[in-house]
Structure 1
């Protein structure tokens, strides 16, 4: 499945993102609007049209100004997050680790990378749900266990060498209220969604720093910016993942002097995977999210990704709203998880404790690995 052309309509159909991208490519594109301004100033015909359409000409000047400011802002975004440094990537030699790569978004990431012949190590508690391409190797790993991560990392290094790209994709959700969440629920959510990022970094980041070459990708969620009833632990763990990314980027440049090691964050909305089945929100296809991640990885540049893109202008800004708007908005999300029946594989580190109590609880939420 090759990466979808940006000129094709999205899998999700015509969306707000489609409209905004179209506007960016036309009305807010200085390459289109600036020549019209210059024609109005320096050609007789252009000056005549401008004088006859003053309101339109003022609008055009505003579009040019906004387009130029947007281009400058985008330029600075790219340069600053990449420390004004470039780097060379040889994808025949790079080794990519993808956690949670057996299914869902991770599966799509793995297959897109494998299409290009890139060596990929999949770390997941469940076996692959697809036939592994030649360049893909599976390593069973309980990402809720620091000891299991350490042992698996050693196996990856002995089999493939030091990874140069780490994609922290694995995630779990329990769908419970704060008081209904058990200690095991909370610890599992944070172990997989946040703490595993630290323990994986401990294993793979030192070699990247030593060579000043590498990349850490963090798959968070729009929930990192906005919590809702019955997903507080999930949102909190994703907020932890987001701040892990932000702090890592700063430390790489200042503490470790590894200013060419890249960092990418993905904050995606609700995606059609088994993990969030029944979630009451507009959904993305996992392939859509995976493609945005892989495109960013292949560019070899740090990036802050939000999908849908139009969410960037709303969800992260909620905290800047007046309090009465913030609190009202969060309360209005009370039905998001009402019909949720997501499924995930039990982590071995949690299974034994659960079985000792009363068997694996809530089969609608957890499934045994097989």
Structure 2
């Protein structure tokens, strides 16, 4: 006898999933795509539309503008980041910090399924059976502790080889007002969110420079550009990563093998992970909550292509820096409308890991 299956209705209406990011994605694959734009005047010409016709002139001009913008963008990226490197996963050793769950776990498990050499560094302990099933080597370690990172680094080199891809993803949040944060909580935030990057970079970067290639992914947050009430320790620690990323790129440019090291800065918006559970976005259309899968997909795509660059999702995360050059009165109005300073008021802080 077959068991009955029940189909549950969607929890949210269809228009909940209609966002400005979805609309832009559709446009980027249609009228904003240079190839599609070039096809339109060709189709008009196939219908014997004269060149003097307004529609023909308009579509040719549109195709020309999009092509120029696309070429200039490619040239800008090449000038800023150099040529991409060839990535062969069979030759790479990938280290993911905070890879026990969430974003870090998705990235680690995808590479594990693809047969890459993956090492996850996390405070959580995993059994050998689970590690073997996922094809991932797990190392229990507090990334905020320099000695533990160095010891684990030696073990990874012995077990898998020198790491060539480092994804610094570990992080925590307490979600408390400044005056309610204990000194221990402030210290733990900076140890995990900021100092861990220094520990892993100083441990694994020398091996990349010796090999002559590598990739470093720095996971920050869009809040690093904004700051937010009840997140003073978190936003400060993530903001420090922006300066660290910029300084790292500057130093690598001065080293003989430095330009061969790819650097990727990730500044996502609110992720639907346990870290920010209970936090509601003021506008799902303009500021949708991002799935870890979407961010993981972008990170994996850029790492696989051997590219350097920045990943900012959703759409508003790409333009958030413009807020800083607006008149302060307008900035205050936008902050009040967005609700960024009220989002954490009703959330109890519990130090969830950003993985």
Q: Under a length normalisation based on structure 2, what TM-score does the superposition of the two structures give?
A: 0.84
> Within the alignment, does 1:115 sit opposite 2:113 as a pair?
yes
Contact 1:215/1:262, CA 8 A, preserved across alignment: yes
3-state DSSP of counterpart to 1:296: helix
Deviations 1:51-79 (A, max 9, x none): 3xx3x556535533541243124302431
Q: Which residue of 1 aligns with 2:328?
A: 323
Q: CA deviation at 1:266?
A: 1.2
Q: Which residue of 2 aligns with 1:30?
A: 34
* Matched residue count: 328
> Within the alignment, does 1:258 sit opposite 2:258 as a pair?
yes
Q: CA deviation at 1:47?
A: 1.6
- CA 1:69 to 1:322, structure 2 compared with 1: closer, same or farther past 3 Å? farther
Q: CA deviation at 1:44?
A: 8.3
3-state DSSP of counterpart to 1:88: coil
3-state DSSP of counterpart to 2:272: coil
Counterparts of 2:58 and 2:179, CA distance in 1: 54
> Within the alignment, does 1:307 sit opposite 2:313 as a pair?
yes
Counterparts of 1:140 and 1:277, CA distance in 2: 25
Contact 2:269/2:290, CA 8 A, preserved across alignment: yes
> RMSD of aligned C-alpha atoms?
2.5
Deviations 1:139-180 (A, max 9, x none): 111122122212221221222221000000011111112222
- CA 1:46 to 1:118, structure 2 compared with 1: closer, same or farther past 3 Å? same
- CA 1:139 to 1:75, structure 2 compared with 1: closer, same or farther past 3 Å? same
Identify unmatched segments of 5+ residues in structure 1: 1-11, 347-370
3-state DSSP of counterpart to 1:45: coil
Contact 1:274/1:343, CA 8 A, preserved across alignment: no
Deviations 1:161-215 (A, max 9, x none): 2100000001111111222222222221111111111111000001111222101
Identify unmatched segments of 5+ residues in structure 2: 1-15, 282-287
**The one of 278, 293, 302 aligned to 1:296:** 302
Counterparts of 1:179 and 1:78, CA distance in 2: 43
| Structure with higher RCO (Cα < 8 A, 6+ apart) | 2
Q: Under a length normalisation based on structure 1, what TM-score does the superposition of the two structures give?
A: 0.81
Contact 1:265/1:303, CA 8 A, preserved across alignment: yes
Counterparts of 1:176 and 1:342, CA distance in 2: 6
**The one of 100, 103, 106 aligned to 1:102:** 100
